[in-house]
Amino acid sequence: MNKLAALTHAHFEACRQQPFVIELDGREGMSLDLLDVYRPSGPPAGGRQLFSLAFRGPRQPVLPQQVYTLTNETLGRLEIFLVPIGPDGAGLRYEAVFG
């Protein structure tokens, strides 16, 4: 089974405010902090509860939407599709959606 498919919102809840280091060009790049985990109300879709993650990174560089390899101390190495959402007062926000 795919490691990412086995993870739930609870796994990520335990990692709030932790850094997720992005691998860029085969080596460690910038770090994103996990800001929040969002869960819509209602029953799971297709057996899995929908949820999304909000990350914040530096304003530059702006990473294009694509799959990135992220490493976290608690969850290890993950392949996550990130979408840049836009700047906020402290950096640039990114979102990942799981369904």
Structure confidence at residue 49 (pLDDT): 77
Mean residue pLDDT of the chain comes to 89
12 φ, ψ (degrees, to nearest 5): -75, -35
Task: Tell me the C-alpha distance between 85 and 48, whole Å.
Answer: 24
Other Cβ atoms within 10 Å of 34 Cβ, number? 22
**Does residue 89 surpass a pLDDT of 70?**
yes
**Does residue 43 surpass a pLDDT of 70?**
no
How far CA 74 is from CA of 27, 46, 65, 89, in Å, comes to: 19, 27, 24, 27
Task: Tell me the C-alpha distance between 60 and 11, whole Å.
Answer: 28
**Does residue 92 surpass a pLDDT of 80?**
yes
Structure confidence at residue 24 (pLDDT): 84
Domain residue ranges of the chain, discontinuous segments joined by +: 3-98
What integer is the mean pLDDT of 34-44? 83
**Does residue 44 surpass a pLDDT of 70?**
no
**Does residue 2 surpass a pLDDT of 60?**
no
Structure confidence at residue 29 (pLDDT): 83
**Does residue 18 surpass a pLDDT of 60?**
yes
First to last CA, the chain: 16
